[in-house]
Structure 1
């Protein structure tokens, strides 16, 4: 009796797993079909329908640089500035080194009204940021693991090796991989800190008055228009404190922007 009960329990678990896998497979297939339908409609210049299909893919919980990129392209064709910039930014976050995404993002940003000149960076900071942007947080974590494994293997060969030339070569490899691994680990922590502390958003309101305090009766400090990217510093009720690339700060209603 106990054996039959145990077998029945395992059978139920197996059936449940099969059902879950079937549902997941069907859902993934549906998302792929929606994506392909969106591509077909885009090719036929039916951008509104293409947008609906791409958004359904995202609503189903599937996101990729390709979906965001195509969604941005469709909005760009309809001259919708804010959705174009927003979705190109989302695509670039998933593929930070994609030149095509960067170029199209630049085209979309050229449609924005606000001309904001970023604060100048010193040479070291500029190089550091360029190095940091080579990979995402996951990318730097993977590079760190690979380099630490390489260091470990090289050190073992050096330690147990018998030939002098071999020991020297692997000692050099171990030393270099350790140094690069520590640098990669530092960059991974920096990328993690950036993701945690830096929240960015895109202005979706056609025109937004930025205030010096989180209320409508406060003084206007400047005006922004749709498509402008801002950094969110603080939140207070229905307002968010934002900072521009040129250092200007002010409060904006949270309904006027969309977090990236």
Structure 2
């Protein structure tokens, strides 16, 4: 019975993959014909099937951009960038999309050692830092065993120094891995989808207006209270926005 279940799952996966490939090709064909609305429907159908990829999000963002859909285009470019953070084409297109936004928001400059460590941590993903730690700890074990069983004084010295260096690099990789994990955990970006959204000073409609944001602006979600989310801008300002006006990445 278990074998039949496995066979069914495999067949279902193959069928879904074939369907998604067909939808993607149809979407690309519609996009090339200039039928961006229909292309979007094809791409969204793939997402509904549980498929996610940088290429899919990138094409979906391009279709929205062609229709001047500011918020959706930026949203899906951001989604694509999360999966392919070093893709130059995605970075280039998202820059064009951001130029369509109304809000001009500055940034709070980060200086000092903490900023340098943050930049270094963000060089690689959590997975890469973790894998690097595993590799270096394995090398450390091999070198330490070489040191322990070696008869030559020179070989012992070289093995010991090399093993200690690997141990140090392992510790650094572990530190950066945990730091990256914490940074990613705190990172909760979202895009304003409402054409114009009143940001309140407190999570209720009776509170005073803190400022106004427009579609496409990227924010960070800090907290959620009922139908409100507390957000933070890159310039440090905070406020409360209705759930319906925002879409988390």
Q: What's the secondary structure of 2:220's corresponding residue? A: strand
- Which stretch shifts more, 68-77 or 138-147? 138-147
- CA offsets 1:148-176 (integer angstroms, 9 cap, x no match): 22222222223223344444443343222
The 5-angstrom pairing of residues 71-220 of structure 1 reads: 71-220=60-209
Number of the residue aligned with 1:21: 10
- Which stretch shifts more, 109-118 or 177-186? 177-186
Number of the residue aligned with 2:222: 233
Contact (CA 8 Å) 1:96, 1:134: kept in 2 or not?
no
The change in CA–CA distance for 1:168 and 1:45 in structure 2 (over 3 A counts) is farther
Aligned mates of 1:259, 1:104 — CA distance in 2 = 20
Matched, 1:36 2:25: yes
Number of the residue aligned with 1:9: none
TM-score by length of 2: 0.93
Q: What's the secondary structure of 1:42's corresponding residue? A: helix
Q: How far apart are 1:75 and its partner, in Å?
A: 1.3
CA RMSD of aligned residues (A): 1.7
Q: What's the secondary structure of 1:223's corresponding residue? A: strand
TM-score by length of 1: 0.89
Number of the residue aligned with 1:54: 43
Could you tell me which runs of 5 or more consecutive residues in structure 2 were left unpaired when the two chains were aligned.
none
Q: How far apart are 1:209 and its partner, in Å?
A: 0.6
Report the number of matched residues.
249
The change in CA–CA distance for 1:16 and 1:179 in structure 2 (over 3 A counts) is same
The change in CA–CA distance for 1:103 and 1:130 in structure 2 (over 3 A counts) is farther
Aligned mates of 1:97, 1:129 — CA distance in 2 = 17
- CA offsets 1:206-235 (integer angstroms, 9 cap, x no match): 100101111112111100001111111111
Q: What's the secondary structure of 1:191's corresponding residue? A: helix
Q: What's the secondary structure of 1:258's corresponding residue? A: strand
Matched, 1:250 2:235: no
The change in CA–CA distance for 1:153 and 1:54 in structure 2 (over 3 A counts) is farther
- CA offsets 1:119-161 (integer angstroms, 9 cap, x no match): 0110433322222222222222222222222222222223223
Aligned mates of 1:77, 1:149 — CA distance in 2 = 51
The change in CA–CA distance for 1:167 and 1:21 in structure 2 (over 3 A counts) is same
Q: What's the secondary structure of 2:210's corresponding residue? A: strand
- Which stretch shifts more, 54-63 or 42-51? 42-51
The change in CA–CA distance for 1:44 and 1:124 in structure 2 (over 3 A counts) is farther
Aligned mates of 2:160, 2:99 — CA distance in 1 = 52
The change in CA–CA distance for 1:23 and 1:49 in structure 2 (over 3 A counts) is same
Q: What's the secondary structure of 1:230's corresponding residue? A: strand
Aligned mates of 2:134, 2:217 — CA distance in 1 = 37
